[in-house]
Every structure is written in C-alpha cells, then in structure tokens.
C-alpha cells in the first residue's frame, strides 16, 4: 500500500467517526430539549384549557330605544316619561309629526309606539321599510285607530294583531308559562288594569297572555287576548303610560320584559343591514278621487277576520292621516 492510499484510508475512517459523533450529539440534544420543554408545554396547555373565555353578550348599550311622541299621546307624555325613568331605560324621542316616507330611523333598534292612533300612509311605509331592515316594534293601545282603512289593514299585518274592543272591567294578565317565553316572567301579573281585547292576525302571530278575571271561564279567557307576539313586534293590549290604565311599576315591568325578549332574540339584525327574507314594499296605487288619501295595500292575510270597530268621529281641525 502506498503512502497516499494509507493516508486516504485513514482520512475516510476519521470522517466516518466524526459524522457518527455529530449525529449522536444531535440526537442527544434533541431528546434533552424535548424532555425539558415537555412539562412546560403540558403546563401551558393545561393553563389555556383551564381559562374560560366568556361568550360575547350583547349589552344594553347596543340597543337603542326610540319612543314616539305624537299628538295622540300628548296628554299621557309625562306618564310615559315617568315609566321610562322608573325602569332606568335610556331612549331617544321620535317626533312623529316629522316622520316622512324618507325617514330611516337611523341607530334605532327598537321603536315604542305608545297609544299612537294616527299614522299616515307615508309614515307607515317608512315604518315598514325600517322593520324590513331589521327594526323591532313595541306597540300599545289602539294603534292606528284614527288612520285610513288602508293603513289600518296594513298595520294588522305589520304588528300581527289589532284592537277589537275594550274590557268591560279591570282584569289581571295571565301570561303563558313556557321556556321559550321566559321574558314574560319579568312582567307584573298581579295588578288589575283596564285594557282591551286583541285579535291575532297572521300565521306567525302568537297569543302569549290573556285577560284573567275571577268571573271568567276558561273558554272566555282564551278569547280575551292581552299580548300578541310576532318575530318583529310585540303588541301590549292596554294604554301603556296612561294613569287610567296601569301603574308606573306595572308598565315599566312589561316594557323591560319586551326589551328583554328582543335583546335575547338571535334573529334580530341591525336596522342598517338588509334582511334577505323581507318582502319588498308594496307600491301605492293612485288615489281614486281627488282629495282622497292614497291607500296602502297590505300583504294578503291568512284568513278573513272581523273588521275592527269604526273609529269615532273627530272634531273639525283634528289631524287625520
């Protein structure tokens, strides 16, 4: 063997030994690092799994309540304010006379119409447009009772019911006890008040409370509906805010209950967001005679219902829609 071959053979053996030593050191280092870091990783994973992240809850600050002030509830307005303040409810006043067809009710998520009996066709269309974009309604008393016949028919479809008659005597509320309507438990059901009988109108209308009286049998009680619920509206069958109807505590409890229902409803969308399932607005046909108010054509009703009582005549100079 020459000197060169001897040198080459020695270099190859040395290289193999160096590579083996290198990989052995790398393997030992990897195993050592894994053993050291494993307790840290286990502890970190346990700490992360032990930390409970609360689910986001929609706060009351996200809800903006608009309260309609009109000529119809002017005499009751101080009582309405007293009830809002007693319930510690933040709100914005909506001047009803300023509502026109183009009104969008920006930033309002729930609108309270307390005993608003006069609604023009333009005001109704603005209201319907806002509801179709996700707004929610709380109406009380004889809503739209002094409006045109076309507006009254359209309101039945929008709020899901109409006022048919006043109670002959004071009565207490008898709300349904269902897990799906736990918000009803927040309302006061012990006080006797003067209210009216509602007629549900539409497939989605639900009777969730009736009027109870000691002399009323079960059959009669079922026909004396006090509160009607739809996905987009709650109809309270009494003059909310009037001292002649219920007390401040009674009215405040039921407004808070209604707001809780809308607060916890998963189907509510912000009013500025379009709702894909909402029907398009119905165009207004031209008036039949000069001077007549344009009629509003409501969506077709599910079944024929008795007509509401004829609105009382008003004095000359009173505002009619």
Name beta bridge partners: 110: 65, 136
Report the alpha-carbon distance of residue 199 to residue 227 in Å, rounded: 10
Which pLDDT value is given to residue 43? 42
Would you give the end-to-end CA distance of the chain in angstroms? 121
Report the alpha-carbon distance of residue 174 to residue 190 in Å, rounded: 9
DSSP 208-232: EEEEE-TT--HHHHHHSEEEEE-SS
Closest CA to 106 of 70, 138, 124, 130: 130
Backbone phi, psi, residue 246, to 5°? -120, 170
Residue spans of the domains in the chain: they are 60-263
Which pLDDT value is given to residue 50? 38
Find all residues with CB under 8 Å of 114, minimum gap 6, and list them.
Answer: 67, 68, 73, 76, 80, 140, 141, 239, 240, 241
pLDDT 10s per residue in the chain (321 long)? 566 556 556 655 655 555 555 556 555 656 555 555 555 444 454 444 333 333 333 344 467 899 999 999 999 999 999 999 998 899 999 999 999 998 889 889 999 999 999 999 999 999 999 999 999 999 999 999 999 999 999 999 999 999 999 999 999 999 998 888 999 999 999 999 999 999 999 889 999 999 997 666 555 667 899 999 999 999 999 999 998 889 999 999 999 999 999 987 654 444 544 433 333 434 444 444 444 444 555 554 444 444 444 444 434 344 433
Q: Which fold has domain 60-263?
A: Rossmann fold (3.40.50)
| 118-163 residue pLDDT tens | 999 999 999 999 999 999 999 999 999 999 999 999 999 999 999 9
Report the alpha-carbon distance of residue 139 to residue 234 in Å, rounded: 6
Kind and range of the H or E run holding 78: helix 77-86
């Amino acid at each position: 063997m020459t000197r060169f071959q001897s040198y080459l053979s020695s270099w190859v053996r040395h290289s193999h030994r160096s590579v083996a030593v290198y990989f052995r050191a790398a393997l030992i280092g990897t195993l050592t690092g894994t053993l050291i870091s494993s307790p840290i990783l286990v502890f970190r994973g346990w700490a992360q799994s032990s930390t409970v992240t609360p689910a986001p809850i929609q706060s009351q600050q996200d809800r903006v309540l608009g309260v309609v002030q009109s000529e119809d509830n002017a005499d009751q307005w101080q009582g309405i304010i007293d009830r809002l303040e007693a319930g510690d409810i933040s709100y914005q006043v909506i001047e009803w006379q300023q509502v026109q067809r183009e009104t969008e009710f920006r930033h309002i998520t729930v609108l309270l119409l307390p005993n608003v009996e006069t609604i023009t066709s333009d005001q109704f269309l603005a209201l319907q447009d806002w509801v179709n974009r996700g707004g929610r309604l709380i109406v009380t008393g004889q809503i739209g009772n002094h409006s045109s016949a076309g507006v009254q028919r359209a309101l039945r479809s929008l709020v899901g019911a109409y006022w048919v008659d006043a109670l002959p005597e004071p009565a207490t509320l008898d709300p349904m006890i269902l897990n799906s309507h736990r918000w009803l438990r927040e309302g006061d059901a012990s006080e006797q008040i003067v209210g009216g009988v509602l007629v549900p109108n539409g497939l989605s209308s639900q009777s969730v409370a009736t009027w109870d009286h000691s002399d009323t049998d079960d059959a009669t009680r079922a026909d004396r509906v006090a509160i009607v619920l739809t996905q987009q509206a709650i109809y309270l069958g009494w003059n909310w805010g009037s001292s002649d109807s219920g007390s401040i505590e009674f009215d405040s409890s039921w407004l808070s209950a209604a707001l809780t229902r809308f607060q916890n409803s998963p189907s509510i969308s912000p009013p500025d967001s379009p709702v894909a399932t909402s029907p398009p607005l119905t165009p207004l046909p031209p008036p039949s005679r000069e001077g007549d108010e344009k009629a509003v054509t409501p969506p077709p009703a599910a079944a024929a219902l008795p007509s509401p009582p004829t609105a009382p005549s008003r004095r000359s100079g009173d505002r009619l829609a």
